[in-house]
Chain A
Amino acid sequence: MKKIITLALAAVFAVSALAGCSSRQKGGTVSTDGSTSMEEVIGVLGEAFQEKYSGMTFTYNPTGSGSGIQAVKEGRCDIGLSSRSLKEEEKADGLIETVLANDGIAVIVNPKNEVSDLDVETIAKIYMGEITNWSELGGNDAEIVVIGREAGSGTRDGFESITGTEDACKYRQELTSTGDVITTVSQNPDAIGYASLAAVSDQVKTLSVGGVMPSEATVKDGSYVIQRPFVLVTKEGTELSDAAQKFFDFATSDEAAPFISQAGAVPVK
């Protein structure tokens, strides 16, 4: 299903990219490439941008953070999108990161679960299979059912890198969408899962992490630790095209903040 949507989006973007060629003289094209987790944020920003500057064409290629960073490095797009901070070696290659927004990853359990607070180390232990029963955490005597996302997902990547559990998670279920994770956790009283803060609903109970509940405020001031940045990646020494610079300025301005909030992320401004 997601594949079909991705294909359809790719087709739309391909067509709009073609259309962009013909109208390049009067407007200009901004091409972005990268994180699929930023799809909603960048989609809303792109729309708002095109509304503000008529004639501009905006394209977004959902390939994943790694591919987006690579694309900027090779000059295949104007702005790269990454849902993680740049690594030291990437910065050494002359890439610059500008944090656009932050996104909290909520840790969720079934509403019937009595546990309401865990710290990051405990969460990591649960996901690595070192703690396997809720009774060890003051809950019922029941085996913990660990729910996660499929390999390659931005949310999984973000969650595992913050909790330090890369390649070590022992998942009972690997589901392919945020919605599936929430539904499954809401169905199983012993399940634990993670999902983008913006998507979490009343069906499940959101845990506080180290005593801090995730919210726009706690993500913004950094006290909620399971969060990841949404980053615009540019290359040092390469001047952005006029259109790309306009988009960059727009996306990082105060004006863009409500759009970012609307898409469920927490703007830095």
Chain B
Amino acid sequence: MKKQKVFENFIHGIFLILGLITVGCVLLITIYLIVSGIPAIQKIGLWDFIFGKEWASTAKEPSYGILPFILTSVYGTAGAILIGVPIGFLTSVYLAKLAPAKIRMVVSGAVSLLAGIPSVVYGLVGMMVLVPSIRNLFHIPDGASLFAAIIVLAIMILPSIINVSITALEAVPKEYEDASLALGATPVETYFKVSVPAAKSGIAAAVVLGVGRAIGEAMAVMMVSGNAPNLPELFGSVRFLTTAVASEMSYSSGLQRQALFSIALVLFLFIMLINAALNFFLKRSKEE
């Protein structure tokens, strides 16, 4: 009996340690980012860093303003949400409520596949197909632009939006819908006036998850956005927060490198905010 208890405690201990590894990693990353991100902000000045409009990290008189990156990340994410959410939302309503079993199987298979494609492949296809087509379609000198990045991001966030929304819609009790149908509402009326409002917290969580995915993406947008540190324009070459870190890190040194860590810190704060929002919506969805 006693032996068994020791064994139980031992196993509990192992689980606890494994759980703490995750917590430890998060703590380690957070502390590391803060410690290595703060010095450059102190040197440059918080205001000049966040609201500076010029980034020239290797110039003789370097300037480190990341407003262009922040705005680009915000606009890029907003654009991706604007395009991705309607498509993803309607797809999930169709799949959860309307689609015949066979079509549903094929479409959800395709969605899972889309989720599994590595981001570098999105970038490559964007670079080889999307960028030249944007160039020809809009008669602009170069297709690598914020617009190209928005399109790529919109496609990349589709799977998260669709999957989470479907789960939320399927969790709506069937009695709600039956009652609505029994009162004479058509199926489509029922879905949009009963099911969707009942699942709205889950759908909001899906959107926030999409935002998180879009703002954190680096590889794919780096290959299609042109990477010049300009203030964002829809058809201009832009640099995101993520790509600002990724593109200069390998050769950077001194204050430039420290400033890159500061950019990572800013990005990290954005992601934390988004996560807080996500938790809020998920909690509310559970309470309902």
Contacts and interface: CB of A to CB of B under 8 A. Distances in A.
Interface of A: 1-3, 6, 36, 63-64, 66-67, 142-145, 150-154, 166-167, 171-176, 180, 183-184, 187-188, 190-191
Contacts of A143: 141
Contact of A36 (B120, B142, B247, B251): B251
A126 B64 CA distance: 26
Interface stretch (B24-32, B41-49, B124-132): B124-132
Contact of A152 (B60, B223, B226, B256): B256
A232 to B, nearest CB: 20
Contacts of A151: 56-58, 248, 251, 256
A63 B251 CA distance: 7
A36 B250 CA distance: 10
B228 A167 contact: no
A150 B226 contact: no
Interface in B212-233: 219, 222-223, 226-229
Interface residues of B, number: 33
5 contacts: A1-B219, A152-B252, A174-B226, A180-B127, A190-B142
B223 A180 contact: yes
A3 B245 CA distance: 11
A66 B256 CA distance: 14
B237 A173 contact: yes
B142 A188 contact: yes
Residue from the set B58, B127, B246, B252 with the largest chain A CB neighbour count within 10 Å:
B58
Contacts of B141: 142-145, 172, 190
Given A151-B57, A173-B237, A180-B223, A2 B142 contact: no
A98 B131 CA distance: 44
A174 B251 contact: no
Contacts of A184: 127, 144
A128 B37 CA distance: 33
Nearest to A174: B227
Interface in B182-232: 219, 222-223, 226-229
Contact of A172 (B142, B247, B251): B142
B223 A150 contact: no
A152 B227 CA distance: 14
B253 A172 contact: no
B57 A3 contact: no
A66 B254 CA distance: 11
A265 B4 CA distance: 70
Nearest to B144: A173
Contacts of A150: 227, 247-248, 251
B272 interface: no
B23 interface: no
B142 A173 contact: yes
B135 interface: yes
Contacts of A2: 250
A6 B252 CA distance: 12
Nearest to A183: B127
Contacts of A190: 141-142
A3 B246 contact: yes
Given A151-B58, A184-B144, A188-B135, A175 B250 contact: no
A64 B222 contact: no
Interface in B232-288: 237, 239, 246-253, 256
B228 A174 contact: yes
B226 A173 contact: yes
B247 to A, nearest CB: 5
A172 B237 contact: yes
B59 interface: yes
A45 to B, nearest CB: 21
A173 B145 CA distance: 9
Contacts of B135: 188
A185 to B, nearest CB: 11
B252 A172 contact: no
Contacts of A66: 253
Contacts of B131: 187
Given A64-B251, A176-B246, A176-B247, 6 more contacts: A166-B60, A172-B141, A172-B142, A176-B250, A187-B131, A188-B132
Given A152-B58, A166-B60, A167-B59, A191 B142 contact: yes
A161 to B, nearest CB: 12
A69 to B, nearest CB: 12
Given A151-B58, A172-B228, A63 B253 contact: yes
A143 B142 CA distance: 9
A188 to B, nearest CB: 6
